[in-house]
Amino acid sequence: MLILLWGVPEERPLAAVAKALHRSGADFVLVNQRHVLRTRVTLTVGEQVTGVLSLPGSTVPLEEVGAAYIRPYDSRQLPAVCNAGNSTQAERCAVAVDQILFNWCELTAAVVVNRPRDSASNGCKPYQARIIRQLGFKVPKTLITTTRAAALDFHEQQGGIIYKSISGIRSRVTRLTPAHADRLADVACCPTQFQEFLPGRDFRVHVVGSEVFGCEIDCDADDYRYPGDHPVTIRAAKIPSDIEERCLSLVRRMGLFVAGVDLRRTPSGEWCCFEVNPSPAFTFYEESSEQPIAAAIASLLISAAHNWTSERGTSGSDAAPAVLGLDRDLNLAPAVIWEA
Amino acid sequence: MILIVADRFDEQVQWLAARWERHGARILHAGDLSQSGWCFCPGSERWTGVAGGEPVGSDSALTGVLNCVPEITCDQLLHIAPQDRAYVAREMTAFLLSWQSELTCPVVNRPTPQSLMGPNWSREEWIVTAARLGVRVRTTTRATHGDLGKSSGDSLGRAHCVIVAGNRILGGTAQLQDWARSLGRAAAVQFAAFCFSPTDEPEFLAATLRPDLANPQTADALLEVFDGAHAC
């Protein structure tokens, strides 16, 4: 069996999954993005999808990969590529590696956590909210507008509103206050998303296959990811079974194997869902809650890779060609948290 | 009214809008999304907006939308401060996806989270889909080295292209038309061109979701999709 990881090794979720795979004794290959200029990929498609991935010191037939965990960054942002300047051979090479590996992720029958096309709904929050609503969750009333007066009317109707990005670009959820009055005319430049403010307690639910890990977040800030002076407490929490089931259905409906679901329980006990993150930075929660999320992801990958091998009638050792050792290739030093 | 979502300087789109003028066609470009007047509440059928500088909305008897750009890009946003263009482009693209996803009139092609023009499939994804449908395909290889990032295979210059435009299939033999119809259905697109090798045993080579628009046959076939459709 063969498991492939793709990303920057010191990025915490990727490092955590690599460590969990190592502890389980699983063989895996790390496609280290920092080595992108020494990475070669060939992908051939027709009746079959085959390919070869050449990394420093090893070669991997892509058709032998049974599971993949991917958290790639745009390779053009990597220091080695940036330092080479724009429109250079280095940049073209980095872009080609990204494109071909993304293509393979879309086309392979292996389990990919998560496939890019299944992750894409997170690039448009109201589009994703429509799916969330269809699965029975409450979603906040929303207005997208370029009209100042409409935003003010919405504010008056709802009593309190927040604004945040429409797209997948990360933005700080902020409550609209009188201090925004002067800037509100700027909405004419670009459609802007406003939502009713729903008071309550935040929960993050991580779904890994059929496992559910619930966390409760105690923080008074509008957006606990940017708490400012407000203290943040994260602890493991039991989520009502019907809400767990709804989270599982939602994540399955989106075709995801792993996801972070952002929920809020209102004072009246209603559960509202804001977003499903297909590339959750779960280590931020795992470190406080001590939930074995990385281990669960590793188990899911191992199980998928075993199934892949048995379906093809080859033994694991025969199927795994070149494996990189964890100690040699991973830098597990703590790094900043990179929220996806 | 038909809205054509496009780059305002696209000459093919201008030709098409002129041809469809008496059907109320109007170009909706990025500049229109920087005008006061847009109000959209997801989950509600009512909305207002701006197209071609004029007000539009759910009261406008909109009979269809034709998407001619995959996304809003920075070069369509010269009226926005340079440092804000990338953000505004992503926000406008996401807005168009959200708004169009709730329209009940024909939207060609229906946007997906990956492209406003439909599924943003790579050439390799089209080939694998074609092979699964039983269409004869030309095996293609893409590699990072050598000819960087480019697929092998025939140049499309001499290829036979078959256009799917609504219910019409334009060009090609009966077999190529059948294959094009199957590919269009598999991708859930109503407007696309499928290219096949000009050989005795043609093989599928590639697809595009932006065929030539300045073609009377194509324009008339597309118009049939919108003509008589229920307004939304």
Say whether A120 and B42 touch across the interface (CB within 8 A): no
Q: Are residues B7 and B113 in the same domain?
A: yes
**pLDDT greater than 60 at residue B216:** yes
Give A-chain residues touching B114 at CB under 8 angstroms: 117, 120
**pLDDT greater than 60 at residue B35:** yes
Predicted local distance difference test score (pLDDT) of residue A327: 34
Domain end, chosen from A180, A196, A212, is at A196
Half-sphere exposure for B139 (CA within 13 Å, toward CB): 9
Say whether B41 and A142 touch across the interface (CB within 8 A): yes
Give the range of the structural domain holding residue B169, as residue numbers without chain letter.
123-208
Minimal Cα distance from A97: which residue of B?
A: B144
A234 within a domain of the structure (yes/no): yes
Segment B155-168, tens digit of pLDDT: 677 899 999 999 99
Predicted local distance difference test score (pLDDT) of residue A54: 96
> B32, B124, B139, B147: which to substitute to probe chain A, counting the most A Cβ within 10 Å?
B124
Q: Are residues A25 and A100 in the same domain?
A: yes
B98 within a domain of the structure (yes/no): yes
Predicted local distance difference test score (pLDDT) of residue A312: 77
**How far is the alpha carbon of B216 from chain A, nearest alpha carbon, in Å?**
35
Q: What share of chain B is helix, strand, coil (3-state, %, to 5)?
A: 35, 25, 45
Residues 199-238 of A with CB under 8 A from B: none
Question: B231: how many CB neighbours lie within 10 A of its CB?
Answer: 14
| Dist CA A243 CA A266 (whole Å) | 14
Q: Are residues B98 and B18 in the same domain?
A: yes
Strands B107-108 and B64-67, by their bridges, are: parallel
Out of A40, A133, A169, the one facing B144 most closely (by C-beta) is: A40
Say how many domains are in chain A: 3
Q: Are residues A49 and A173 in the same domain?
A: no
Predicted local distance difference test score (pLDDT) of residue A319: 35
Predicted local distance difference test score (pLDDT) of residue A331: 36
Find the CATH number of the domain harbouring B167: 3.30.470.20
Out of A95, A133, A142, the one facing B149 most closely (by C-beta) is: A95
Predicted local distance difference test score (pLDDT) of residue A172: 85
Q: What is the ipTM of this complex?
A: 0.94
* Percent of chain B at pLDDT exceeding 90: 88
Q: Give the predicted TM-score (pTM) of the model.
A: 0.91
Beta bridge pairs of residue A162: A175, A195
Say whether B39 and A150 touch across the interface (CB within 8 A): yes
Predicted local distance difference test score (pLDDT) of residue A182: 87
Predicted local distance difference test score (pLDDT) of residue A129: 97
CB contact set of A322 (below 8 Å; sequence gap of 6+): A29, A55, A57, A58, A59, A60
Q: Are residues B23 and B111 in the same domain?
A: yes
Q: Are residues A133 and A147 in the same domain?
A: no
**pLDDT greater than 90 at residue B148:** no
| Dist CA A129 CA A276 (whole Å) | 9
Give the range of the structural domain holding residue A243, as residue numbers without chain letter.
119-137+199-278
Domain end, chosen from B118, B139, B156, is at B118
Q: Are residues B6 and B113 in the same domain?
A: yes
The per-residue pLDDT string of chain A (340 residues; one tens digit each, 9 = 90 and over) reads 799 999 999 999 999 999 999 999 998 999 999 999 999 999 999 989 999 999 998 999 999 999 999 999 999 888 888 888 767 888 889 999 999 999 999 999 999 999 999 999 999 999 999 999 999 999 999 999 999 999 999 999 999 999 999 999 988 889 999 888 889 999 999 999 999 999 999 999 999 999 999 999 998 888 888 888 888 899 999 999 999 999 999 999 999 999 999 999 999 999 999 999 999 999 999 999 999 999 999 999 999 999 888 887 654 433 333 333 333 333 333 222 233 3
A148 within a domain of the structure (yes/no): yes
- Cβ(B163)–Cβ(B169) below 8 Å: yes
Q: Are residues B113 and B41 in the same domain?
A: yes
| Dist CA A74 CA A88 (whole Å) | 16
Q: Are residues A130 and A260 in the same domain?
A: yes
A338 within a domain of the structure (yes/no): no
**How far is the alpha carbon of A227 from chain B, nearest alpha carbon, in Å?**
24
